[in-house]
A = this chain, B = another copy of it.
Amino acid sequence: VTAREIIEKKRNGEALSRHEIAFFIRGLIEGQFTDYQASALLMAIFIRGMSRDETVALTREMRDAGKVLDLSSIPGPKVDKHSTGGVGDKTSLLLAPIAAVCGVKVPMITGRALGHTGGTLDKLQSIPGFDFQPSLPQVLSLLRKHGAVLMGQTPELAPADARLYALRDATGTVESIPLITASILSKKLAEGIEGLVLDVKTGSGAFMPSSRLALKLAQSLVHTGKGLGIRTVAVVTGMDQPLGRAVGNALEVRECLEFLQGESPEDLQTVTFELAAQMLMLARLARTRRSAETMAREAVSSGAAWRRFLDMVAAQNGDIRVLENPELLPKAANVSRLEASRSGFVAQVDARMVGMASNQLGAGRTRMEDAIDTAVGIYLHKKIGDRVRRDEILCEVHWNDAACLHGTMALLGKAFQIRPGPVRPPRLIRSVMKG
């Protein structure tokens, strides 16, 4: 079999065999499949699609192209959560200690911000000293002692994914269900987990806003996870407005600290406890959805999750003084306020626009090599459905660089929409799909 034959087969709309997919991924790493051949194949896959069997084979080969963590020496169920990315989505930082307190082992590999969405690794960067590159023995020891570890992607794990993602990004072949499925799952399954909860976002702030595509992606993820022998659940959640009130790295960490100490916005609770409950059920630590949620809520209300978070951060060399005294977290030099131009009800807080506004302040990045400012961001005082009076504060903008401020304020002005009559907040949990 040659690269060209494989490309021609997919070009003609035929299904590739497991052997051909293995040739593609190995060839990409070893050189028999060039970049320009890979991008022709990616375009053919984008247009012609892939069957479930092909997607399973692609995911398996991408996972097995690198190292897969061996967690067999760790007792207890290993379950993780992955989100397709949103604005103000800080649930990973909450789920790791909550699930760990309940008995789950969470070997969470997490990423950096790109585009308008945030990244857990960038949020952790606002905690001085936090080491997100533990060695394998350290990972095992952290999991054994604290039940969770938060770490960055390494080049040994799913190495083909980084190559393919760079090509997809440059060739307009990102938004393909089978390619996204294989990209997400190959990295997560390299963690050596038994169960995975997927938070598939839908709405303006989501990577793929269309609800039809979000459902298709959720199905594909669940089927592919199952096809690889992993217990998998996908929860489709609304990302029309940012999750919680804080958008921006240190601001979001602060919101997490408040959450773990019992004070938090309702929408953030709804999504976090839904995902936590699904994790506990996949881990077979709870029999019913209801008992799972009760366990998760008690982990927070008892203060156990908060203490666990402090232990986890300390064990990864993070400075826990900033957690105990959030005033020490990175802080922007200035705070400006956006006020309502009229009275009424908030009808829209467009998540994508808020994410872009936060990016403009320096909280995110356009290219992977950009530096970020962990201190800046946006804090929402009003969310969809809230009553607002003229001149009341809609949101606070935490900023350092005056050059960006004007554009940011203009964007936020467009993100908020106020209507005269009452507005219902959008539904958060759209569907739960099991493998």
Q: How far is the CA of A171 from the CA of B167 in the complex (A)?
A: 15
Q: How far is the CA of A191 from the CA of B107 in the complex (A)?
A: 65
Q: How far is the CA of A397 from the CA of B37 in the complex (A)?
A: 39
Q: From residue A246, how far is it (CB to closest CB) to chain B in Å?
A: 32
A3 in contact (CB, < 8 A): yes
User: Which residue of chain B has the shortest Cβ distance to A35 in the bound complex?
Assistant: B36
A172 in contact (CB, < 8 A): yes
A38 in contact (CB, < 8 A): yes
Interface residues on A, range: 20 to 34
Q: From residue A35, how far is it (CB to closest CB) to chain B in Å?
A: 4
A14 in contact (CB, < 8 A): no
Inter-chain contacts of A170 with B (CB < 8 A)? 3-4, 34, 36-37
Per the 8 Å Cβ criterion, residues 137-173 of A in contact with B are 167, 169-173
Contact present for B11 and A173 (CB under 8 Å): yes
Q: How far is the CA of A5 from the CA of B173 in the complex (A)?
A: 11
| A residues whose Cβ falls under 8 Å from a Cβ of B | 3-5, 7-8, 11, 34-44, 46-48, 167, 169-173
Interface centre among A5, A7, A39, A167 (most CB of B within 10 A): A39
Contact present for A167 and B11 (CB under 8 Å): no
Inter-chain contacts of A40 with B (CB < 8 A)? 39-40, 42-43, 171-173
Q: How far is the CA of A73 from the CA of B431 in the complex (A)?
A: 75
Inter-chain contacts of A44 with B (CB < 8 A)? 43, 47
Q: From residue A43, how far is it (CB to closest CB) to chain B in Å?
A: 4
Interface centre among A36, A167, A170 (most CB of B within 10 A): A36
Contact with A172, one of B8, B35, B171 (Cβ below 8 angstroms): B8
Inter-chain contacts of A5 with B (CB < 8 A)? 172
Inter-chain contacts of A39 with B (CB < 8 A)? 36-37, 39-40, 43
Inter-chain contacts of A35 with B (CB < 8 A)? 35-36
